[in-house]
């Protein structure tokens, strides 16, 4: 079966079947005349029905011919793209890049970007202020009497557990209970 004579319409009931156009015009006309003579719509004569059936057959043949031509052109375009090294992935990538550029140049995108930029700046300023406030509060807390007492107790506990070698100092007597640190670990 010749591929050029196949019906390539995916919705066609004759999909993949050979289409012989040599005598379809005369057969269709004869069939149409027989069919239409029995059930003619009101206001149409048999002659008009035959003419319409002939015209319909010609249009259907033209449609099939155009489908075949289109299919051949698509195969040729695919071959040219293959020779040029254009793959469907490259085409998709180019289309995506082009679409992204169009989005970036749109007014809606520019307005949204500007709004988000302003929101980001305000958020950054708020977080910076909050970080400074937390730092100040922690500094105030570290200088409080309660924290100093806790820090001294933790330093003594560390000295008892680790000993003098934990601070990089020379070993001293184990009865010495006060660490000699200028900068406590906390």
Cβ neighbours, 10 Å, residue 127: 10
Q: What is the DSSP string of 6-46?
A: B---TT-TTTTSB---SSHHHHHHHHHHHHHHHSPPTT--H
**Residues 57-112: pLDDT tens digits?**
999 999 999 999 999 999 999 899 888 888 888 888 888 999 999 988 899 888 99
Residue 78: both structure tokens together: 């695919």
| Residue 92: per-residue pLDDT | 87
pLDDT attached to residue 53: 94
pLDDT tens-digit profile of 38-53? 688 888 999 999 999 9
Q: In this predicted model, what pLDDT tens digit does every residue of 116-169 receive, in sequence order? A: 999 999 999 999 999 999 988 888 887 888 877 887 878 777 777 877 665 555
Dihedrals φ, ψ of 140, to 5°?
A: -60, -40
Global model pTM greater than 0.75: no
């Amino acid at each position: 079966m010749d591929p050029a004579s196949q019906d390539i319409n995916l919705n066609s009931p004759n999909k993949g079947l050979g289409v012989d156009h040599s005598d379809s015009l005369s057969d269709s006309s004869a069939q149409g005349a027989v069919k239409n003579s029995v059930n003619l719509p009101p206001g149409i004569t048999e002659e008009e029905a035959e003419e319409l059936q002939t015209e319909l057959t010609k249009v259907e043949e033209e449609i099939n011919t155009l489908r075949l031509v289109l299919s051949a052109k698509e195969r040729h375009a695919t071959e040219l793209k293959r020779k040029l090294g254009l793959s469907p992935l490259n085409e998709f990538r180019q289309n995506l890049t082009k679409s992204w550029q169009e989005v970036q140049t749109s007014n809606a995108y520019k307005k949204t970007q500007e709004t988000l930029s302003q929101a980001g700046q305000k958020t950054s300023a708020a977080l910076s202020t909050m970080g400074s406030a937390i730092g100040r509060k922690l500094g105030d807390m570290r200088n409080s009497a309660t924290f100093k007492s806790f820090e001294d107790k933790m330093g003594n506990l560390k000295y008892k557990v680790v000993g003098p070698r934990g601070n990089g100092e020379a070993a001293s007597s184990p009865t010495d209970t006060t660490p000699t640190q200028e900068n406590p670990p906390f």
